Amino acid sequence: MRCSSAILALLSLTLAFARQPVRTRHAMVTAQEPNAADVGAAVLKAGGNAVDAAVAIGFALAATHPFAGNLGGGGFMLIRFADGRTTFIDFREAAPLAASHDMYLDEKGNPTRDSIEGWRASGVPGTVRGLGVAHSKYGKKPWASLVQPAVTLARDGFEISYEQSEQWKSQGTVRRLSISPESKRVFLKDGAFYEAGETFRQPELARTLERIARKGPDEFYTGETAATLAAEMKKNGGIITADDLAGYRAVERTPLECDYKGHHVITAPPPSSGGVGVVQMLGMLEGSGYEKSGWGSAATVHYLAETMRRYYADRSRFLGDPDFYKVPLSGLLDPAYIKQRAASIDPEHATPSDKVGPGQPAGAEGSDTTHFNVVDAEGNAVAVTYTLNAGYGSGVTVPGLGFLLNDEMDDFAAKPGVPNMFQLVQGESNAIAPRKRPLSSMTPTIVTRNGQFEMMLGAPGGSFIITAVLQGFLNMVDFGMNPQDAVDAPRIHHQWKPDLIMMEHGYSPDTMALLKARGHNVRDLQYQVTSRLDAIRRGSNGWLEGGSDGRGRGKVAGY
């Protein structure tokens, strides 16, 4: 007897991803590096709230997870308080005052690599300011006490894991960190490399963190750290100045919200493109019956891919920094517009991307990253995604300061219509301008049900973030998975262009063959990691259940 592709896929999922979630009664943290997760759990046990724990984790990751944890990058923090209030803190990097529309084009008008690596690739960092705003408005523990664990981890060091050692020896990492002599010295021992079990100490970073702990967030933007960073920028051909640093501000924005089958979704507004994507795609999926053929079936994957295709087409034209560009948000999220987009999906055949352009919403004019989740004993929830963009950012470590700089300028459309490093096609709405924030895929998301916290999700992974968060949510809501299985399950990704369904290893050959028969271009990613999703859910018995993606080396901690 021949099993259907859906049954084979379900069997594969059951065998490969049957891990139980971590369960705690009171409070929980998920983070993509174990030492940082332990720091957050310790803050919660000591009486700190979810914001306190998030601040401590953010600084700890700067010491223990240099791939993406940072002082030299930026990100988003989504907060849902136990009393139902919500807020969103945007500490995305900003273009320097000297930035210009065509700054990364050569004499022939083609994009250069200057937006990806080196001193000119960096936007003005926002992380320290963002964590500072969150703490001053919503934290309760002393600031210095939340930065101190990171100081200790940088000064006294921590044991290098096997995975970290191997990553630092990989060809791509060696090339990127060799861009900067300081990066090569700090992280690669000038080519001698750290072995698993060795202690990794960062005295320059420890001194920077100590100053921030003593003097507060302003030290990074107007103190010794700012002066050193501006001087090194000038010395090395970068364009961030003391005025750029002093003028940087984190911005509080109103989260996006929608409902899906009785679940209330709270997610990221622009300059994140992720929240718009989640709301649009859930709107296209609700009522479609896409889930009836089961997880992993060709029919289900087809409908997900067609939904993703339409959203990413809209993303290419209509999204950007709302402080610089009039995003047609109400039109993009109008249920009638979303219904119109869904109606164009052929349930049996792929629609080529060349025939799916951006829509016409009302009001419209003519990696790497890391994520962590925190829920405290009072029910406050904080989801943070922050980033250096590429792994290790621009590859530049600032001499005397010990932290890596981002390469976030590549998230702008260096040349509108030409794909960036994630192969995303972007339009004039996301072109470079001074103090503008580049469009992001970061999608911290919190979900409630009947007015109470239900779950939260987030991921790194560039353009794969949005579809990872969507599928993690659907895995729990539509396919009945627990949080661990939901984050471990294989995922697909379609981003309009290139016209391709990228499928992680784990889908059956029958499913892939049936998708090709429907007209899809399909690529089996084998064991390539697309994103690393983390999730926390409150079970029906009141216990918290946490899942940390098996694609990474994260940890769930709590009490």
Radius of gyration (C-alpha) of the chain in whole angstroms: 22
Residue 324 has pLDDT above 80, yes or no: yes
Residue 12 has pLDDT above 60, yes or no: no
Q: What gap in Å lies between CA 17 and CA 548, rounded to an integer?
A: 12
Q: What gap in Å lies between CA 300 and CA 288, rounded to an integer?
A: 10
Residue 434 identity: P
Task: State mean pLDDT over 308-324.
Answer: 93
Residue 420 has pLDDT above 80, yes or no: no
Q: What gap in Å lies between CA 397 and CA 493, rounded to an integer?
A: 33
Task: State mean pLDDT over 406-425.
Answer: 80
Residue 452 has pLDDT above 60, yes or no: yes
Structure token pair of residue 74: 């930026």
On the 0-12 / 13-18 / 19+ scale of CB atoms within 10 A, 87 is middle
Task: State mean pLDDT over 467-491.
Answer: 97
Q: What is the DSSP letter of 354?
A: G
pLDDT 10s digits, 14-27: 444 568 999 999 99
**Residue 461: other Cβ atoms inside 10 A:** 26
pLDDT 10s digits, 183-223: 999 999 999 999 999 999 999 999 999 999 999 999 999 99
pLDDT 10s digits, 206-217: 999 999 999 999
Task: State mean pLDDT over 494-499.
Answer: 94
Q: For residue 534, give the nearest of 421, 445, 420, 436 by alpha carbon.
A: 445
Count, in order, helices (H) and strands (E) of the chain. Answer: 19, 19
**Residue 486: other Cβ atoms inside 10 A:** 26
pLDDT 10s digits, 367-390: 578 999 999 999 999 999 999 999
Q: ∠ CA 422-437-439 to the nearest 5 degrees?
A: 35
The residues annotated as belonging to the active site are: 369
Residue 9's pLDDT band (boundaries 50, 70, 90)? very low
Those residues whose C-beta lies under 8 Å from the C-beta of residue 222, and which sit 6 or more positions away, are: 245, 246
pLDDT 10s digits, 140-165: 999 999 999 999 999 999 999 999 99
Residue 5 has pLDDT above 50, yes or no: no
Q: What is the pLDDT of residue 367?
A: 57
Residue 7 has pLDDT above 50, yes or no: no
Residue 364's pLDDT band (boundaries 50, 70, 90)? low
Q: Where would I find the H helices in 139-202?
A: 143-156, 162-169, 171-177, 181-188
pLDDT 10s digits, 245-268: 999 999 999 999 999 999 999 999
pLDDT 10s digits, 60-95: 999 999 999 999 999 999 999 999 999 999 999 999
Structure token pair of residue 106: 């050569």
Q: What gap in Å lies between CA 92 and CA 63, rounded to an integer?
A: 20
Residue 417's pLDDT band (boundaries 50, 70, 90)? confident
Q: What gap in Å lies between CA 465 and CA 471, rounded to an integer?
A: 10
Range of lowest pLDDT (62-66, 123-127, 162-166, 420-424)? 420-424
Q: Which residues of 421-460 are buried (b: 16+ CB within 10 A; e: fewer)?
A: bbebbbbebbbbbebbbbbbbbbbbbbbeeeebbbbbbbb
Residue written as token pair 């209330």: 264
Q: What is the DSSP letter of 94?
A: B
Q: What is the pLDDT of residue 413?
A: 84
Q: How far is CA 98 from the centre of its chain?
A: 27
